[in-house]
Structure 1
Amino acid sequence: LSSTIAFAGLLLTSFSLLVSSIETRRKSSMDILFSLEKDLDFSKSKKAIMYALNLEDIILENPVEGVDADYNNIINLKHYFTHSMNIYEFLALSIRQGIIDEELFKSLYKSRFLKVWQQTVPAINKIRNAEDNPELYEHIEWLADRCENH
């Protein structure tokens, strides 16, 4: 009888820890995702790449300072692109590793994330081909696939 009670106590403790772990992960996920809402550089970067025309052509340009009239705009756009993609790659990897809750991300950001993905995938593919690096931003692609198909 005492071993049955001890086993039941162990099961209850394990269940309690599991529920606590899930809630802690969700709260941490919320904290991370909402901190992005306050990140003005990230917001500015997303906005810049969403409104860029011919993004995939601009990203591979190598402008010359003092020669190209659009030098600063190209450099800024490249910075915005890299900044946004690196944050999304971090988020996607964190979701893939179970650090950030996938369903919470999808509920909060799925449509906005997919719009950014659709705008940037031609540029990503062009960079992958130019650098012969098919794994570039692979976690973002994984997350986009999950958002589109699950």
Structure 2
Amino acid sequence: MTEPLPQAVMASGNVFISYGPLISAGAVLVSAIVAGIIALRNIAEQRKIARRRATLDLISHREWDGDYIRIRAEFNKLKLSHPPLEFWAAEEHKDSPQITVIRSILNDYEMISIGIREGILDEALYKRWFRSSLVNDYQKAKATIDTIRQRTGVPTIYAEFQALAERWTSKK
């Protein structure tokens, strides 16, 4: 036996619950979620483009920067000459023009490595452009870095550069 409907419902003639407002609210909620997802994707894509643009700007600037070109050429000469690079890291050469050139290149690599780690620069793009030079320069400068660390008592000097070079060496 069925229960009789309440008097108020019977009087209004409305026996069914209206789902219209629930459907509308659900549609608004789904639309908001989809819009949020699209916005987040667009933000991520814009960050990716900005990172690539910053990397291209850096590479382009280096190709035309006279100071960088001169220091890079000096560093390349020092890498190939005798005495080896670590010779210039000794205490008695700490103010020499040679160690200034070496430090300039190592500082540049450290800055690039931090930029990559922080997501400011695009690692894949920079790696395609500069991987061989970075890894080769690290291998040539490793003993110099060790000497500087020992002389200064700071074991973290050029640690970001080291980490990047070692990662790129192991992932060819």
Query: What is the TM-score when the length of structure 2 is the normalising length?
Result: 0.74
Q: Aligned-pair distance for 1:55?
A: 1.6
Post-superposition offset of 1:138:
0.6
Aligned residues: 140
Q: CA deviation at 1:61?
A: 5.1
- Post-superposition CA distance 1:64-113 (Å, at most 9, x none): xxxxxxxxxx8221111111111111111111111111111111100011
Uncovered stretches (5+) of structure 1, i.e. residues with no partner:
64-73
Structure 2 regions of 5+ residues with no counterpart? 1-26
2:88 maps to: 58
Contact 1:46 1:116 in 2 (8 A): no
State the identity %: 22
Corresponding position of 2:45: 19
The code of the aligned residue for 1:31 comes to D
Contact 2:149 2:156 in 1 (8 A): yes
Q: What is residue 40 of structure 1 aligned with on the other side?
A: 66
The CA RMSD over aligned residues, in Å, is 1.7
Mapping for residues 74-85 of structure 1, pairs under 5 Å: 75-85=96-106
Match of 1:125 in 2: 146
Larger Rg: 2
Residues in 2 aligned to 1:17 and 1:129: alpha-carbon distance in whole angstroms: 44
Contact kept? 1:59, 1:78, Cα under 8 Å: yes
* Pairwise CA distance, 1:34: 2.1
